[in-house]
Chain A
């Protein structure tokens, strides 16, 4: 018998603090699997956010830095500039990356900073108890939008991949989801590519991962995964939003 599936080495043995059924754990594992596959654990430094994943520094076995809310891309910029041969990634939620840290996100992208950004979009502030996020859907009920997100008052959700794809800078932008086996496998491929891009010095790669928050969505874990299919993915279509190298290759061929 040989092992088909086990915990990746790049995750520590610490028990995850996430709620039952929260897909942060799956995304952590996919990042760790990419680190294992590419054999880069010894030279990888991760940057943890503020939000549910704030304690990610306990879970990844590589060196870790905890950043202030939204500032992970700036911290990662410092780390990468100081250690260009190391692999630097950030792991950020929607409030962190798309609200308070929007400037850092956009500017790291436009500089084509050679880092990997894992952006977990679950359309809510989880850690603080379920407030409206920049990515909460129109009409979505949260603690701070108790009558549903009113776009006339709060504006529309921010679509990060679409937004950043208008910049000349970033190398690679893809949106994936982790709500079923097929999507998880695809997310794994995308995350690995985002690390490979960094190894190959291609530049800024961001993978937006549509994730669930059963607790704050008020659903069971499997209902939450179904809600991703029904509500999230129609608003946030999956796919590659920018791939500069592929674009160049096809231009050369043409």
Chain B
């Protein structure tokens, strides 16, 4: 298990992390908007996260911190 933290208010909802996650664990929030008015990315099932950091690698806004 790995820990993925999102700096939600920096997220622009571009979805690149969603596309790149090999386990398809990240989604853009369906019910939340951040300060900027974007639907931020969020983790659905941290238990299954392998900590590959692909999401953080492709995030243009340094939203994501990954710990393992």
Contacts and interface: CB of A to CB of B under 8 A. Distances in A.
A and B touch in their complex, CB below 8 angstroms: yes
A3 B67 contact: yes
Nearest to B11: A20
A7 B56 CA distance: 9
B51 A4 contact: yes
B57 interface: yes
Given A15-B10, A21-B12, A21-B14, A5 B57 contact: yes
B61 A25 contact: yes
A181 B56 CA distance: 10
Q: How large is the interface on B (under 10, 10 to 19, 20 to 34, 35 or more residues)?
A: 20 to 34
Contacts of B58: 26, 180-181, 184
A25 B65 contact: no
B41 to A, nearest CB: 11
Interface residues of A, number: 30
A4 B2 CA distance: 9
A11 interface: yes
A32 B14 CA distance: 22
A24 interface: yes
B62 to A, nearest CB: 4
A58 B30 CA distance: 32
Contact of A7 (B2, B16, B62): B62
Interface string B1-34: 0110000011011111001100000000000000
24 contacts: A1-B67, A4-B53, A4-B66, A4-B67, A5-B57, A5-B64, A5-B66, A6-B66, A7-B62, A15-B61, A20-B12, A20-B14, A21-B60, A23-B60, A25-B59, A25-B62, A26-B57, A26-B58, A29-B62, A181-B20, A181-B54, A214-B14, A222-B15, A225-B16
Given A20-B13, A22-B60, A24-B60, 6 more contacts: A4-B56, A5-B53, A7-B65, A21-B12, A21-B15, A26-B58
